[in-house]
């Protein structure tokens, strides 16, 4: 998988939102240490986390499975724009047949796991989908054959409050392995001066 940070709002905006409550603009150091401490104190320690919603991030996430996409959909305070299966399944149509052990070629389309049997069955499902497409079935109908391991990509925008929740839940060892990898990738993609607002559970 690949995670790219496309944009983020400024910590100074979040500090401004907090200072709005007390009209303490004269104490701002415009995104300096005083403002950073204020954001952490009010947003995290005092739990006025609504102020963190003024801070947002947009990521381009590539090479994740549709199984992971389903997990992402549970984080509702976020916006997702996902690669469309209606328009993009033609990429598979011209491929030659896949053998169940053809891991290297199938990896272009599938997220492979640590289990070879699961991978072989996913490749079999990929071949079934390829055959259906070659028989002229429309993408809208053929996508019902998509395996959960089929790769997709999306642009994902989330505010800091929701991202804290996401990273806390999804870096936990009980989370799906793939979404744990995503959580860690996202955290390490954040600007260094923003990371102090978040935490992840490392292995």
Whole domain around residue 174: which residue ranges? 2-65+68-80+152-197
Looking at residues 166-170, what average pLDDT do you find?
96
CA atoms within 13 A on the CB side of 107: 9
**Catalytic residue flag (residue 105):** no
User: Would residue 58 count as lying in a domain?
Assistant: yes
User: Would residue 159 count as lying in a domain?
Assistant: yes
User: Would residue 46 count as lying in a domain?
Assistant: yes
User: Would residue 178 count as lying in a domain?
Assistant: yes
Q: Which of 135, 151, 167 lies at the terminal end of a domain, its last residue?
A: 151
pLDDT at 47 over 80: no
Give me the number of domains the chain comprises: 2
| Backbone torsion region of residue 64, taken as left when φ is above 0, otherwise alpha when ψ lies between -120 and 50, otherwise beta | beta
Which of these, 24, 81, 78, 14, lies nearest to 50 by C-alpha position? 14
Q: How far is CA 157 from CA 20, 79, 86, 116, in A?
A: 25, 5, 23, 34
Give the pLDDT band of residue 202 (cuts 50, 70, 90). Answer: confident
Q: What is the pLDDT of residues 59-110, one digit of tens each?
A: 999 999 999 999 999 988 899 999 998 888 888 988 999 998 889 999 999 9
User: Would residue 203 count as lying in a domain?
Assistant: no
pLDDT at 112 over 90: yes
Catalytic residue among 19, 130, 170, 180: 170
Q: What is the pLDDT of residues 117-153, one digit of tens each?
A: 999 999 999 999 999 999 999 999 999 999 999 999 9
If asked whether residues 94 and 145 sit together in one domain, one would say yes
If asked whether residues 22 and 122 sit together in one domain, one would say no
User: Would residue 202 count as lying in a domain?
Assistant: no
CA–CA separation, 69 and 51 (whole Å)? 28
If asked whether residues 125 and 179 sit together in one domain, one would say no
User: Would residue 170 count as lying in a domain?
Assistant: yes
pLDDT at 31 over 80: no
If asked whether residues 74 and 162 sit together in one domain, one would say yes
| Cross-strand pairs, 8 | 57
If asked whether residues 109 and 128 sit together in one domain, one would say yes
The pLDDT, as a whole number, for residue 175 is 94
Mean pLDDT of the chain: 92
């Amino acid at each position: 998988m690949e995670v790219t940070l496309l944009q983020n709002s400024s910590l100074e905006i979040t500090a401004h939102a907090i200072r709005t409550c007390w009209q303490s603009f004269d104490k701002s150091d415009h995104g300096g240490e005083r403002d950073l401490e204020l954001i952490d104190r009010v947003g995290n320690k005092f739990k006025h986390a609504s102020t963190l919603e003024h801070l947002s991030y947009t990521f381009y996430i590539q090479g994740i499975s549709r199984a992971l996409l389903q997990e992402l959909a549970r984080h509702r305070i976020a916006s997702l724009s996902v690669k469309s299966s209606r328009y993009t399944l033609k990429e598979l149509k011209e491929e030659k047949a896949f053998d169940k052990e053809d891991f290297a070629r199938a990896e272009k389309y599938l997220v492979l796991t640590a289990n070879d049997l699961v991978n072989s069955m996913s490749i079999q499902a990929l071949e079934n989908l390829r055959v259906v497409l070659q028989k002229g079935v429309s993408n809208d109908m053929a996508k019902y054959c998509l395996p959960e391991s089929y790769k997709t990509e999306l642009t994902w925008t989330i505010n800091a409050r929701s991202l804290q929740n996401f990273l806390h839940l999804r870096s936990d060892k009980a989370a799906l392995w793939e979404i744990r990898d995503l959580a860690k990738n996202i955290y390490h993609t954040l600007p260094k001066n923003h990371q102090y607002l978040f935490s992840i559970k490392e292995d």
